[in-house]
């Protein structure tokens, strides 16, 4: 992208949206927007050479697209960075309807659903536009960390024959007169990669959950940053990788976008210190009860609910001054059958950030006999035989985690919900555009 300040007195060609066209008596102004950057185009009507351009701008509507060639000049009277583009030519590449269905600048003027219906326009608002610039940097830095640590990228199927997480939350697909399902996670296949001899793998891909819940943090399709690696001693090794990964991501985001995030979203990006605090679920319950008088409802005992997560972050801030906290030692009845157990306690964790779970991770059960026992305890049988077979012919101890990147971005930028965060949200009542 052109740095306009470095192009003063030089000839440039800039394409973009005519964000605001102002046609005054002696002069015309266009605010030209390209990738979130703006420059004023100034056309003096009195100059003979501008005659043709003036006629073009006469008919130009806001949000039409244009390509402008001209020279960038310094002008301290111009509010937009003290620069203006004096054009030699303006080419109109598309004309926008005069009335837009939503306001770009005033988000509050339309209901969230109307904005979602018109997401392609909604995203032209800076606060929305930059979400994906920032997310790209976050993911880039995390990928970079994995490349540097010899992780292999895999792409696992999203059409599957058996539910990987739990039966009830799976979308069924008609598959040539048979049943198939949309993958809830790459869980089985990232473990298959370990059985195949890849020591470290990752995947960034969609997950589908038929959860009929209308919360700010649930989508029916989301993107998960999944990884799995072999030859670990315990889930502590998994947590250590996740800490480093998040530090890599947040360091890069702070460096590139820290000031912009502060300006647009009012958020200070904090690069966390390592190690993150850790707490066992039972100790956490005790702290929440003593500090905030909070008792976990009986149906959630052994697990976390939204309220517990919120208070857990409050506790982490108060006790450790830390935005992140790992919670361990969940009840086996609330955890997946593939988590390794030690003394009946699942060897896994949830990571909570700013009041919301962003990750589940664990050491996996790689011993065939034990795995089979745990699977049948949960009522899983024939349909996961193919998965159990992965552990029959040699498979090293391993573990991994799934990090929901939509939640990660929502929390990073302090956005109120996934509807505002995701490029296109999918929920029980939303499957368009």
**Residues near ligand AMO, by CB under 6 A:** 165, 185, 187, 209, 211, 218-219, 222, 224, 226, 357-362, 400-402, 404, 406-407
The residue to which tokens 């993911």 are assigned:
139
- Tell how many helices (H) and how many strands (E) occur in the chain: 12, 18
Residues forming a β-bridge with 167: none
* Cβ proximity to ligand AMO, 124 vs 190, nearer residue: 190
Nearer to ligand AMO by C-beta: 89 or 212? 212
Cα(217)–Cα(98) distance, rounded to whole angstroms? 36
Q: Which is nearer to ligand AMO, 28 or 223 (CB)?
A: 223
The tokens describing 224, both together, are 């998960």
| Minimum distance of ligand AMO from residue 11's CB (angstroms) | 48
Among residues 166 and 389, whose Cβ is nearest to ligand AMO? 166
- Provide, rounded to whole angstroms, the least separation between the CB of residue 116 and ligand AMO: 16
**Shorter beta-carbon distance to ligand AMO: residue 11 or 342:** 342
E-strand stretches of 263-355 = 278-280, 324-328, 341-342, 345-346, 348-353
Q: What are the CA-CA distances from residue 303 to residues 211, 280, 283, 324, 331 (Å)? A: 18, 11, 13, 18, 7
User: Nearest-CB residue to ligand AMO?
Assistant: 404
Closer residue to ligand AMO in complex, CB, 222/229: 222
What Cα–Cα distance (Å) separates residue 128 from each residue in 107, 122, 162, 219, 381? 10, 7, 37, 18, 45
Q: Is 127 helix (H, G, I), strand (E, B) or coil?
A: helix
Minimum Å distance from CB 401 to ligand AMO? 5
- 271: how many CB neighbours lie within 10 A of its CB? 17
Residue 363 contacts residue 400 (beta carbons within 8 Å): no
Residue 424 to residue 24: CA distance in whole angstroms: 39
Beta-sheet strands, E only, within 61-100: 65-74, 83-94
Distance in angstroms (rounded) separating the CA atoms of residues 209 and 225: 16
Neighbours of 301 (CB within 10 A): 14
Nearest to 64 by CA among 20, 21, 98, 18: 18
Strand ranges of the sheet holding 152-153, from the earlier edge strand across to the other edge = 152-153, 200-208, 221-230, 398-404, 356-363, 348-353, 324-328, 278-280
Distances (CA, A) of 19 to 34, 41, 103: 9, 11, 12
Q: Which is nearer to ligand AMO, 213 or 376 (CB)?
A: 213
Place of tokens 């937009």: 80
- Cβ distance to ligand AMO smaller for residue 39 or 316: 316
**Separation of alpha carbons 420 and 422, rounded Å:** 6
As a whole number of angstroms, the distance between CA 412 and CA 194 comes to 32
Query: In whole angstroms, how close is the CB of 205 to ligand AMO at the nearest point?
Result: 12
Pairing relationship of beta strands 152-153 and 200-208 according to DSSP bridges: parallel
């Amino acid at each position: 992208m052109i740095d306009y300040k470095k192009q003063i007195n030089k000839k440039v060609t800039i394409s973009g949206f005519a964000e605001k066209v102002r046609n005054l008596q002696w002069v015309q102004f266009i605010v030209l927007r390209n990738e979130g950057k703006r420059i004023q185009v100034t056309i003096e009507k009195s100059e003979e050479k501008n005659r043709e351009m003036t006629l073009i701008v006469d008919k130009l509507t806001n949000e039409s697209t244009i390509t402008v060639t001209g020279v960038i000049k310094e002008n301290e009277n111009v509010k937009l960075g003290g620069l203006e583009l004096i054009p030699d030519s303006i080419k109109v590449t598309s004309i926008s309807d005069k009335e837009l269905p939503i306001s770009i600048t005033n988000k509050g003027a339309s209901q969230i659903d109307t904005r979602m219906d018109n997401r392609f326009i909604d995203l032209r608002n800076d606060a929305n536009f930059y979400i994906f610039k920032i997310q790209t940097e976050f993911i880039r830095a995390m990928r970079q960390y994995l490349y540097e640590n010899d992780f292999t990228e895999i792409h696992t199927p999203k059409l599957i024959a058996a539910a990987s997480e739990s039966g009830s939350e799976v979308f069924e697909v008609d598959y040539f007169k048979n049943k198939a399902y949309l993958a809830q996670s790459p869980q089985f296949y990232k473990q298959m990669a370990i059985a195949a001899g890849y020591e470290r793998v990752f995947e960034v891909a969609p997950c589908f959950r038929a959860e009929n819940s209308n919360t700010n943090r649930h989508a029916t399709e989301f993107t998960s940053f999944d990884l799995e690696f072999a030859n670990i001693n315990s889930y502590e090794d998994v947590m250590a990788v996740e800490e480093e990964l998040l530090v890599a991501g947040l360091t890069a985001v702070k460096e590139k976008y820290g000031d912009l995030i502060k300006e647009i979203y009012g958020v200070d990006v904090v690069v966390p210190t390592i190690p993150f605090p850790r707490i066992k679920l039972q100790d956490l319950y005790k702290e929440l009860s003593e500090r905030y008088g909070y008792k976990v409802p009986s149906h959630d005992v052994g697990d976390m609910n939204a309220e517990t997560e919120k208070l857990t972050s409050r506790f982490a801030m108060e006790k450790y001054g830390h935005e992140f906290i790992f919670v361990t030692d969940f009840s086996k009845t609330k955890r997946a059958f593939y988590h390794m157990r030690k003394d009946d306690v699942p060897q896994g964790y949830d990571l909570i950030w700013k009041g919301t779970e962003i990750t589940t991770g664990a050491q996996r059960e790689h011993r065939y006999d034990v795995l089979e026992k745990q699977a049948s305890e949960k009522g899983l049988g024939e349909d996961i035989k193919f998965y159990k077979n992965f552990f029959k012919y040699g498979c090293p101890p391993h573990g991994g985690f799934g990090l929901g990147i939509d939640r990660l971005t929502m929390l990073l930028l302090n956005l109120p919900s996934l509807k505002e965060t995701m490029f296109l949200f999918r929920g029980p009542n939303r499957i368009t555009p």
